[in-house]
């Protein structure tokens, strides 16, 4: 063998691939942008590595080597709000957070509800630091009145449909969306919120909203929406994906539906598992205003339990950049949303793995193979022959979240100043290092 056989070799890392079901010390060999092989240490392998040049080797001693992380819920804001984020900056943030594949939501301006806009985003993403998969709209203009040209969207490469930010209020429309999307085997991703029940809600409706005098959005607004859609999903045989699930009742509804064999999947965000509504009154930090809102401690624990027992399939950041000007205001005037791509991994390690809720293998499953399977993405594994999208993680590295260190164009994070454990060491996309610390 000669050194030219491989473009890159990641040596001495702890390799975790939840798709293949292993976690072991091994070397990962990359050739032509793909995984060539993963081999445990041995005399012949050591011999082989001696023939490599230094620049071909990444030493991952003490690090975790995992498939590039997949985030199925990201807002890139382009087109329309390039001051908050662009496809390029969002992908840099993704790479810095260890994500090599991200799915962008269609609530841009204009909406991603036609082929041209899908193509525009794909064009922007061509040389970006992460793969961008586009989620198209369920309805034209996200208005909930007419189905978008879903077939066209899929033909152009959309991997799912969602009216994220808006709930498809008309049950008949949702029924037809589930039926129609079934033809393309794509899920309908639903922002589950009965917006009549939640109208005017600034935070979760609980004693906290009562105490603070802020108008509440009740958890039942989410539960009513989830229960309706599960019924429609059961009827149509379509695939329903519940976005950013947050309440105990909604988790229970999905758990029950899965037992019955309904084709429903769900995602949860780190912030709904780390923070609860009691944080808001401490200083009315507008970065804590999100939609769905931060819920109660009971809900927070229920979401973690749902993640642990498999009711919730994956972790998604719901990365939602907003400009400092928009967030630097009265709490109830601020737009909802926080950024998340660059803090997700640290939060999951610090708050879920270190606290014993998830093993590394489980966490990686929820951030790689599971989201990839929901959307039929050809990523999320290190299987030989697949694209070499790899994240190398320094699991015990401690760091402090700082506003001026974000790669995102926005810095609306409530975690600024927090100490987290675990940081990305290198992110490799198609065999090339796109981020390194």
Partner 1 sequence: MSRLSSRHLLGLEGTSRQDIEAILETADTFREVLDRTIKKVPTLRGITVVNLFYEPSTRTRISFELAEKRLSADTVSFSPSTSSVKKGESLRDTLQNIEAMKIDMVVVRHSSPGVPYFLTRFSDANIINAGDGAHEHPTQALLDMHTIYKKYGKLDGLRVVLIGDAAHSRVLRSNIWGLKTMGASVAICGPATLLPYEVEKFGCDIYTNLDEALDGADVVNVMRIQLERQHAGLFPSQREYTRLFGVNKDRLKRLRRNYTIMHPGPINRGVEITSDVADGAKSVILDQVTNGQAVRMAVLYLLRGRDDEGGVS
Residues labelled catalytic: 318
- Contact pick of 206, 368, 370, 411 for partner 1 (by CB under 8 A): 206
Is residue 333 involved in binding partner 1 (CB under 8 A)? yes
For the chain, give percent helix, strand, coil, nearest 5.
35, 25, 40
Nearer Cβ to partner 1, position 57 or 220? 220
Span from 14-22, 27-35, 298-306, 322-330 in contact with partner 1 (CB under 8 A):
322-330
Span from 111-119, 213-221, 267-275, 307-315 in contact with partner 1 (CB under 8 A):
213-221
CA 112 to chain centre: 19
Nearer Cβ to partner 1, position 22 or 207? 207
Nearer Cβ to partner 1, position 194 or 394? 194
Greatest extent of the chain over all pairs of C-alpha atoms, in Å: 71
Q: Which residue, 110, 122, 13, 103, is CA-closest to 63? A: 13
HSE of 248, CA atoms in CB hemisphere, 13 A? 9
Span from 230-238, 328-336, 371-379, 419-427 in contact with partner 1 (CB under 8 A):
328-336
Is residue 24 involved in binding partner 1 (CB under 8 A)? no
Q: What one-character DSSP code corresponds to residue 126?
A: T
Nearer Cβ to partner 1, position 213 or 356? 213
Nearer Cβ to partner 1, position 235 or 324? 324
Is residue 293 involved in binding partner 1 (CB under 8 A)? no
Minimal distance, residue 281 CB to partner 1, in Å: 8
Nearer Cβ to partner 1, position 96 or 334? 334
Minimal distance, residue 81 CB to partner 1, in Å: 18
Nearer Cβ to partner 1, position 141 or 249? 249
381: which 2 tokens?
């594994």
Q: Which helix (H) or strand (E) holds 71?
A: strand 69-74
Matching residue, tokens 């997700």? 344
- Contact pick of 42, 196, 210, 400 for partner 1 (by CB under 8 A): 210
Concatenate the DSSP letters of all residues of 323-391 into one string.
Answer: -HHHHSS-GGGSPS----TTTHHHHIIIIIITTTS--HHHHHHHHTHHHHHHTT-S-S---TTSB--EE
Q: In this structure, are residues 337 and 290 in contact, taking their beta carbons and an 8 Å threshold?
A: yes
Bond into 18 cis (ω within 30): no
Matching residue, tokens 């990365």? 319
Minimal distance, residue 211 CB to partner 1, in Å: 7
Is residue 211 involved in binding partner 1 (CB under 8 A)? yes
Matching residue, tokens 């092989």? 37
Is residue 246 involved in binding partner 1 (CB under 8 A)? no
Q: In this structure, are residues 235 and 262 in contact, taking their beta carbons and an 8 Å threshold?
A: no
Distance CA 144, CA 142 (A): 6
Is residue 331 involved in binding partner 1 (CB under 8 A)? yes
- Contact pick of 34, 45, 284, 361 for partner 1 (by CB under 8 A): 284
Matching residue, tokens 């930010």? 165
- Contact pick of 95, 147, 214, 374 for partner 1 (by CB under 8 A): 214
Of residues 124-153, which lie at the interface with partner 1 (CB under 8 A)?
Answer: none
Is residue 332 involved in binding partner 1 (CB under 8 A)? yes
- Contact pick of 45, 212, 231, 361 for partner 1 (by CB under 8 A): 212
Q: Which residues bind partner 1 (CB under 8 A)?
A: 205-207, 209-214, 216, 218, 283-284, 325, 328-333
């Amino acid at each position: 063998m000669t050194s030219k056989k491989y473009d890159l070799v990641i040596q001495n890392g702890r390799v975790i691939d939840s798709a293949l079901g292993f976690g072991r010390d091994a070397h990962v060999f990359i050739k032509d942008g793909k995984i060539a092989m993963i081999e445990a240490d041995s005399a012949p392998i050591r011999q082989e590595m001696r023939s490599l040049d230094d620049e071909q080797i990444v030493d991952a001693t003490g690090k975790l080597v995992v498939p590039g992380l997949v985030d199925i819920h990201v807002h890139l804001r382009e087109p329309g709000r390039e001051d908050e984020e662009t496809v390029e900056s969002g992908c840099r943030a993704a790479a810095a957070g260890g994500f090599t594949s991200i799915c962008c939501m269609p609530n841009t301006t204009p909406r991603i509800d036609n082929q041209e806009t899908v193509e525009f985003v794909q064009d922007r993403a061509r040389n970006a630091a992460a793969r961008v998969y586009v989620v198209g709209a369920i309805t034209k203009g996200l208005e909930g009145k007419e189905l978008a040209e879903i077939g066209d969207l899929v033909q152009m490469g959309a991997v799912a449909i969602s009216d994220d930010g808006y709930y498809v209020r008309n049950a008949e429309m949702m029924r037809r969306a589930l039926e129609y999307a079934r033809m393309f085997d794509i899920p309908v991703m639903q922002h589950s919120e009965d917006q009549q029940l939640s109208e005017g809600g600034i935070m979760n409706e609980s004693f906290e909203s009562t105490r603070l005098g802020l108008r509440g959005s009740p958890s039942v607004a989410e539960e009513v929406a989830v229960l309706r859609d599960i019924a429609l999903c059961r009827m149509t045989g379509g695939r329903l994906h519940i976005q950013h699930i947050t309440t105990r009742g909604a988790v229970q509804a999905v758990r029950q539906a899965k037992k019955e064999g309904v084709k429903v999947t769900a995602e949860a965000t780190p912030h709904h598992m780390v923070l609860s509504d009691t944080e808001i009154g401490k200083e009315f930090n507008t970065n804590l205003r999100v939609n769905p809102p931060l819920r109660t401690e009971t809900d927070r624990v229920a979401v973690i339990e749902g993640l642990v027992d498999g009711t919730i399939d994956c972790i998604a950041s719901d990365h939602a950049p907003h400009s400092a000007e928009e967030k630097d205001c009265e709490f109830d005037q601020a737009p909802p949303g926080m950024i998340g791509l660059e803090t997700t991994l640290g939060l999951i390690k610090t708050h879920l793995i270190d606290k014993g809720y998830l093993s590394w293998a489980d966490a990686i499953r929820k951030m790689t193979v599971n989201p990839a399977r929901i959307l039929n993405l050809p990523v999320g594994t290190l299987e030989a022959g697949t694209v070499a999208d790899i994240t190398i993680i320094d699991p015990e590295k401690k760091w402090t979240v700082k506003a001026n260190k974000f790669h995102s164009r926005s810095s609306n994070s409530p975690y600024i100043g927090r100490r987290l454990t675990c940081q990305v060491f290198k992110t490799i996309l198609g065999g090339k290092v796109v981020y390194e610390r």
